[in-house]
Protein backbone atom coordinates (compact mmCIF):
# COMPACT_ATOMS: atom_id res chain seq x y z
CA UNK A 1 0.00 0.00 0.00
CA UNK A 2 2.82 2.37 0.90
CA UNK A 3 4.62 1.70 -2.41
CA UNK A 4 1.56 2.64 -4.39
CA UNK A 5 1.32 6.05 -2.69
CA UNK A 6 4.94 6.88 -3.56
CA UNK A 7 4.38 5.98 -7.20
CA UNK A 8 1.45 8.38 -7.38
CA UNK A 9 3.52 11.24 -5.92
CA UNK A 10 6.35 10.68 -8.40
CA UNK A 11 3.89 10.68 -11.25
CA UNK A 12 2.49 14.04 -10.17
CA UNK A 13 5.98 15.58 -10.00
CA UNK A 14 6.99 14.39 -13.45
CA UNK A 15 4.04 15.96 -15.25
CA UNK A 16 4.94 19.68 -14.83
CA UNK A 17 8.53 19.02 -15.91
CA UNK A 18 7.31 17.48 -19.16
CA UNK A 19 4.98 20.42 -19.82
CA UNK A 20 7.87 22.87 -19.42
CA UNK A 21 10.04 20.98 -21.88
CA UNK A 22 7.28 21.12 -24.46
CA UNK A 23 7.04 24.92 -24.10
CA UNK A 24 10.76 25.33 -24.76
CA UNK A 25 10.56 23.25 -27.91
CA UNK A 26 7.73 25.41 -29.15
CA UNK A 27 9.64 28.68 -28.67
CA UNK A 28 12.47 27.29 -30.81
CA UNK A 29 10.20 27.68 -33.81
CA UNK A 30 10.11 31.46 -33.30
CA UNK A 31 13.63 32.93 -33.47
CA UNK A 32 13.87 36.10 -31.37
CA UNK A 33 15.96 37.93 -33.96
CA UNK A 34 13.06 38.21 -36.39
CA UNK A 35 10.71 39.88 -33.92
CA UNK A 36 10.83 43.62 -33.25
CA UNK A 37 8.95 44.44 -30.07
CA UNK A 38 6.07 46.82 -30.71
CA UNK A 39 6.99 48.93 -27.68
CA UNK A 40 10.40 49.99 -29.02
CA UNK A 41 10.93 53.73 -29.04
CA UNK A 42 12.16 55.63 -32.09
CA UNK A 43 14.99 58.10 -32.01
CA UNK A 44 17.95 59.77 -33.64
CA UNK A 45 21.37 59.65 -32.06
CA UNK A 46 22.84 63.04 -31.24
CA UNK A 47 25.97 62.01 -29.36
CA UNK A 48 27.82 58.78 -28.55
CA UNK A 49 29.96 58.72 -25.41
CA UNK A 50 31.72 55.36 -25.38
CA UNK A 51 33.85 56.09 -22.32
CA UNK A 52 30.88 56.97 -20.13
CA UNK A 53 28.59 54.41 -21.82
CA UNK A 54 26.07 57.16 -22.57
CA UNK A 55 23.93 58.03 -25.56
CA UNK A 56 22.23 61.33 -26.32
CA UNK A 57 19.03 60.53 -28.22
CA UNK A 58 16.40 62.79 -29.72
CA UNK A 59 13.51 60.42 -29.10
CA UNK A 60 9.84 60.22 -29.95
CA UNK A 61 7.14 59.44 -27.44
CA UNK A 62 8.06 56.52 -25.15
CA UNK A 63 4.75 55.02 -24.11
CA UNK A 64 6.22 52.50 -21.67
CA UNK A 65 7.69 55.38 -19.64
CA UNK A 66 4.87 57.85 -20.32
CA UNK A 67 7.50 60.25 -21.70
CA UNK A 68 6.89 62.88 -24.40
CA UNK A 69 9.36 63.45 -27.28
CA UNK A 70 12.59 65.16 -26.22
CA UNK A 71 16.38 65.07 -26.47
CA UNK A 72 18.04 63.49 -23.47
CA UNK A 73 20.99 61.41 -22.27
CA UNK A 74 20.58 57.69 -21.61
CA UNK A 75 22.88 55.24 -19.91
CA UNK A 76 23.39 52.05 -21.94
CA UNK A 77 23.41 48.58 -20.40
CA UNK A 78 26.55 47.46 -22.23
CA UNK A 79 29.24 49.68 -23.76
CA UNK A 80 29.57 47.22 -26.65
CA UNK A 81 26.14 48.37 -27.83
CA UNK A 82 27.75 51.67 -28.89
CA UNK A 83 30.42 50.12 -31.11
CA UNK A 84 28.76 50.78 -34.47
CA UNK A 85 26.70 53.84 -33.58
CA UNK A 86 27.32 57.46 -34.52
CA UNK A 87 25.56 60.80 -34.34
CA UNK A 88 22.81 61.04 -36.95
CA UNK A 89 21.89 57.32 -36.88
CA UNK A 90 18.17 56.61 -36.76
CA UNK A 91 17.40 53.85 -34.29
CA UNK A 92 14.75 51.90 -32.48
CA UNK A 93 15.53 51.21 -28.86
CA UNK A 94 14.25 49.76 -25.62
CA UNK A 95 14.69 51.74 -22.42
CA UNK A 96 14.04 50.60 -18.87
CA UNK A 97 13.48 52.75 -15.82
CA UNK A 98 15.71 51.28 -13.12
CA UNK A 99 16.95 52.61 -9.81
CA UNK A 100 20.04 54.16 -11.40
CA UNK A 101 17.93 55.99 -14.00
CA UNK A 102 16.95 55.27 -17.58
CA UNK A 103 18.98 52.49 -19.15
CA UNK A 104 18.89 51.54 -22.83
CA UNK A 105 18.86 47.74 -23.03
CA UNK A 106 18.46 47.16 -26.79
CA UNK A 107 19.28 49.17 -29.91
CA UNK A 108 18.42 48.34 -33.53
CA UNK A 109 18.66 50.29 -36.75
CA UNK A 110 15.41 52.03 -37.65
CA UNK A 111 13.62 50.32 -40.57
- Using CB under 5 A as the criterion, which residues of the chain lie in contact with Cu ion when the complex forms? 67, 70, 72
Evaluate the CA torsion angle 8, 10, 16, 19 in order and state its sign: negative
CA 47 – CA 50 distance, rounded (Å): 10
Q: Are 55 and 72 in contact (CB under 8 A)?
A: no
**Least distance from C-beta 111 to Cu ion, angstroms?**
22
Smallest distance from the beta carbon of 91 to Cu ion, in angstroms? 14
- Closest contact distance (angstroms) between CB of 67 and Cu ion is 5
Residue among 67 and 85 whose Cβ is closer to Cu ion: 67
Nearer to Cu ion, 85 or 102 (CB): 102
H helices present in 28-65, as ranges: none
Q: Which is nearer to Cu ion, 70 or 98 (CB)?
A: 70
Amino acid sequence: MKTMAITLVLGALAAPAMAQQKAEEHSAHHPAAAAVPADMAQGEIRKVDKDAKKLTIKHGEIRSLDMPPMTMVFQVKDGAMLANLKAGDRIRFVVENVEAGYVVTDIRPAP
